[in-house]
């Protein structure tokens, strides 16, 4: 029996391949992905400072001439960043589709230039099927990888900003925030990997829900039968 061997194409190789393909064919995807991360971080920072700035003016009993411009500035800033984020996300979709088309062309070229003995092999057909599944739709891994890149950049930039903000805070606050972040990361990682760890088992939640649905259906049938029986009894009583 053939053992599963680890793939020689790791995360770094795949990331460099996607970045190189985008740079050669559609370089705007890289720029827009970076802009997407920057806008997301800017929006988070604006929302973070909006509340304290308004509350500070209210606590100091600032005049209305100072309070209204503060609210207006943050409102325009958040609205503008939100609109730019939507604009970038909308235009980023076309570049991502073009990158997928380039990868599909590479797959088709590879499959059309292979020898006939390889085309008839089971390994080749399985590899080709997996390759097409990775680029077949807008929700495929070749499309979703750009969201992963944007999320990584966003988290890195957000970490640097929060690190700068925490540098002026108390050491106890920094320790508590760090511990909470590490605990949340470990808990989220454990929960997200639960499905992969139990991929060979039947889902307990599904079986429980199936039993509940079966019990509900049986009860509905019984309730309908009882209602029909009661209605039949009322009919004979009235007649």
State how far the Cα of 229 lies from the Cα of 144, in Å rounded to an integer. 57
How far from 80 is each of 38, 74, 83, 162, CA to CA, in Å? 13, 10, 5, 23
Q: Which helix (H) or strand (E) holds 162?
A: helix 141-166
Tokens 């009661």 belong to residue = 230
Q: Are 137 and 143 in contact (CB under 8 A)?
A: yes
Question: Does the pTM exceed 0.95?
Answer: no
Q: SS3 letters for 96-113?
A: HHHHHHHHHHHHHHHHHC
> Rounded CA gap, 37 and 153, in Å?
6
Tens digits of per-residue pLDDT, 11-54? 778 888 888 888 998 898 899 999 999 999 888 888 888 888 88
Tokens 């797959």 sit on residue? 107
pLDDT digits over 49-76, tens only? 888 888 888 888 878 888 888 889 889 9
Neighbouring C-beta atoms of residue 192, cutoff 10 Å: 9
Residue 222 has pLDDT above 50, yes or no: no
Alpha-carbon distance of 84 to 82, in angstroms, equals 6
Q: Is residue 19 a contact partner of residue 33, using CB atoms and an 8 Å limit?
A: no
| DSSP for residue 10 | -
Task: Give me the phi and psi of 172, to 5 degrees please.
Answer: -65, -40
pLDDT tens, residue by residue, 95-134: 888 888 888 888 888 777 877 777 777 777 787 888 888 8
Only one residue has tokens 């020898």, namely 115
Extract the tokens encoding 5.
């061997």
Instruction: Quote the CA–CA distance of 142 and 124 in Å, as a whole number.
Output: 20
Going by the DSSP 8-state scheme, the letter that residue 6 receives in this structure is P
Could you give the C-alpha distances from 108 to 3, 148, 180, 201, in angstroms and in order? 28, 26, 48, 36
């Amino acid at each position: 029996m053939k053992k599963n061997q680890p793939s020689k194409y790791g995360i770094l190789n795949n990331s460099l391949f996607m970045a190189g393909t985008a740079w050669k064919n559609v370089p705007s995807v890289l720029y827009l992905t970076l802009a997407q991360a920057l806008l997301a971080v800017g929006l988070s920072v604006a929302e973070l400072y909006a509340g304290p700035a308004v509350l500070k003016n209210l606590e100091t009993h600032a005049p209305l001439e100072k309070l209204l411009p503060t609210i207006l500035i943050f409102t325009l800033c958040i609205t503008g960043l939100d609109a730019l984020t939507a604009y970038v996300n909308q235009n980023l979709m076309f570049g991502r589709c073009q990158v997928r088309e380039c990868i599909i062309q590479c797959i088709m070229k590879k499959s059309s230039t292979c020898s006939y003995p390889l085309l008839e092999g089971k390994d080749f057909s399985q590899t080709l099927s997996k390759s097409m599944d990775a680029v077949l739709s807008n929700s495929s891994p070749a499309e979703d990888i750009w969201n992963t890149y944007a999320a990584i950049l966003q988290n890195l930039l957000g970490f640097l900003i929060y690190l700068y903000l925490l540098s002026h805070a108390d050491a106890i606050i920094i320790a508590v925030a760090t511990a909470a972040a590490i605990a949340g990361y470990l808990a989220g990682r454990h929960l997200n990997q639960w499905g992969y760890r139990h991929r060979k088992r039947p889902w307990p939640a599904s079986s429980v829900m199936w039993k509940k649905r079966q019990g509900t259906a049986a009860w509905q049938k019984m309730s309908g039968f009882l209602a029909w029986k009661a209605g039949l009894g009322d009919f004979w009583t009235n007649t």
